[in-house]
Structure 1
Amino acid sequence: MSGTGAETGAAVLVAGISALDVILALPELPGAAAKYRADQGALAPGGCAANAAIAVARLGGRAWLASRLGDDLVGDLVVKALAEEGVETALVHRQPGARSSFSSVLVDAAGERQIVNFRGTGLDACAGWSGHVPAVRAVLADTRWTEGAAEALRLAQARGIAGVLDAEPPIAPELLDLASHVAFSRAGLAALSARSDPAEALAEAMAGRAAWACVTDGAAGVYVLSGGEVEHLPAFAVEARDTLGAGDVWHGAFVLRLAEGAGEREAVRFANAAAALKCTRFGGGLGAPGRSETEEFLRERGQWN
């Protein structure tokens, strides 16, 4: 696995959920109430925001993570692992008496995963932290923490920087109005539009909103809505080993390239490459690639494949 990113890179604020993932690899996902033996296992930070922050750090950026954890052992493990990855954790709130989120994740031989998540208890809204955010060049927020996402996106608006929403269901409408960029998952888009055609669904979900928007669809690539037109940008074909955290890595790579001044189309291409590389590695978000290997992957693949 790659090392952490350079501290001199573009700074990004990532706001959202953090958890601990217990990841186990099996030949196939269980279908019966019985005992099973894993081929491989890992303990890793999990959750949309934590995984994205790790991706930012590994890709050469400086990630500031705003999140909520309990003052328990799970929280201790998550913060320690994030710090070891070079993620800034000063904005991670440790709630006294609260229990941190954790997940059991099973991954089959094809890289598909099955997740059972405990969301945690006693984690309050924890507003007011945005006044302590240093200079950053872009913001990424996920929908798992509505109050935190709204605060982060308002900060982006106030500072005139990109505010990217990782749009997984459930999606509070106010977050769509606050974001400058909305990146839906297929499930997130389906929650707002019943249309099967991605172009039509994007147009319906974003009607009346000026934000740039896209929907990520795994191996099917990304559909982008910009200026009323929809473009399909294909994914890079790889042999998947573990898809856990691939979407989070995508969002981290995308927001980092925006922070570095890249246009959206180039940021999508870079994010597609980072997510593809992650899918070839076991370990959830800890499979996020480094900057040099991502750029080398892009050079080898040339233009859109």
Structure 2
Amino acid sequence: MTSVLCAGVAVIDFVLSIDEMPRRAEKYRAKDAAIVGGGCAANSAVAVARLGGEAFLASRLGADAVGDMIIADIEAEGVDCRLARRFEGNRSSFSSILVDRNGERQIVNFRDETLDRDASWLEQAELPDFDVALADTRWPEGAEALMRVARLRGKPAIMDVEAPVEIAMSALKTATHLAFSEQGLREFSGKADVVSGLYHALDAAPDAFICVTQGEDGVSWIEGSDVRHEPGFQVAVADTLGAGDIWHGAFALALGEGRAEIEAMRFANAAAAIKCTRFGGRSGAPKRAEVEEFLRERS
């Protein structure tokens, strides 16, 4: 079984479905609601597990009730949380999320900035065998440590490059693969358009594979000195929450299975598209058979 070690943030999301985003300070009534696990690394780990991989999560949590909910939810998905550290006197992260009728989202997140950021233990621990490493920018120290370990083991070291980017520059310089969001690429490069941003990223990391996810428009990447593009799949969107994280988990798993980047990106596009048709954040992450059937129908 292909294994993926993810490092980064894990949260609980309180998701409310509404027609339009609020514009005034008054009461609103939700049409639907869900309490689901969230966080870039945690979502990616769940995606890996649902797609048939072995997933490990390294994260930092408070020793509180929210942390209990986070761990219970992730472990119920089959993710190994032995590397999720709990800290007494700290609070775990959670988010309030509004999703409108078009599936677009607005997120208000709380995180305890006093949580211990040290990640030296991650390099010193007896880490499980893994085929690929994936980290987000929310825990820069953990990302850098994991990228170094993956490099030493000769494994793909993937960074999910979402804003804020500057705080995770050391991890980005160590990664073998940089998978940007559009916002992350703009912040990293200072360029407004994707093509210029990708070339800037190539100059900064000439030895890394560099791509940018573009939502329903798919993904663009650098191949040699050219920018190439793989279109996204057109689906009826119910909720985009977590789609990018699902993409990164699927991409990492496919790379760990030995697929080429172009094949891994198409596989990830399909997994993210399926998720977008379902309300409730990562609870809509697809199973392996669903993705394979989805791709067969569109081959």
TM (norm. structure 1) is 0.94
Q: Which amino acid aligns with 2:49?
A: A
Distance in 2 between residues matched to 1:115 and 1:15, nearest whole Å: 21
* Alignment size in residue pairs: 294
Q: CA deviation at 1:195?
A: 2.7
Moved more, 117-126 or 80-89: 117-126
Q: In the alignment, is the contact (CA less than 8 A) between 1:95 and 1:122 conserved in 2?
A: no
For the residues of structure 1 that align with 2:214 and 2:239, how far apart are their CA atoms?
A: 16
Q: Superposition pairs for residues 168-183 of structure 1, below 5 Å?
A: 168-171=162-165, 172-183=168-179
| Preserved CA contact (<8 Å) 1:139 1:152 | yes
**Match of 1:117?**
109
Once the two structures are TM-superposed, the CA of residue 198 in structure 1 deviates from its matched residue by 1.3
1:194 to 180, 190, 193: 190
Offset at 1:120?
2.1
Q: What is aligned with 1:97? A: 89
Asked whether the equivalents of residues 24 and 41 of structure 1 are also in contact (C-alpha less than 8 Å), the reply is: yes
Alignment of 1:59-98 (within 5 A): 59-98=51-90
Pick one of 106, 128, 132 that aligns with 2:126. 132
Q: Contact 2:47–2:246 at 8 Å: present in 1 too? A: yes
Q: 1:243 aligns with which of 240, 245, 259?
A: 240
* Cα distance between partner residues in 2 of 1:11 and 1:95: 27
Cα distance in 2 between the residues matched to 1:284 and 1:37: 19
1:224 corresponds to = 221
Displacement after TM superposition at 1:197 (Å): 2.9
Distance 1:173 1:65 in 2: 21
Q: Counterpart in 2 of 1:160? A: 154
Structure 1 residue 200: deviation in Å?
Answer: 1.8
**Aligned pair partner of 2:282 in 272, 282, 285:** 285
Q: 1:292 aligns to what SS in structure 2?
A: helix
- What residue is the counterpart of 1:37 in the other structure? 29
Contact 2:181/2:213 (CA < 8 Å) preserved in 1? Answer: yes
Select which of 43, 49, 59 maps to 2:41: 49
Q: What is the rounded CA distance, in whole Å, between the counterparts of 2:223 and 2:90 in structure 1?
A: 42
Which residue of the other structure, out of 253, 257, 262, is the alignment partner of 2:254?
Answer: 257
Structure 1 segments (4+ residues) deviating >4 Å: none
1:121: Cα distance to partner?
Answer: 4.0
Paired with 1:195 and 1:145, the residues of 2 have a C-alpha distance of 25
- 1:4 is aligned to none
**How far off its partner does 1:208 sit?**
4.3
SS of 1:192 mapped into structure 2: helix
Q: CA RMSD in A?
A: 1.0
Q: What are the superposed Cα offsets for residues 15-54 of structure 1, whole Å, 9 maximum, x if unpaired?
A: 0001110001011111111111111111111110010010
1:224 counterpart SS class: strand
* Runs (5+) with no aligned partner, structure 2: none
Tell me the SS of whatever aligns to 1:116. Answer: strand
TM-score, length of structure 2 as denominator length = 0.96
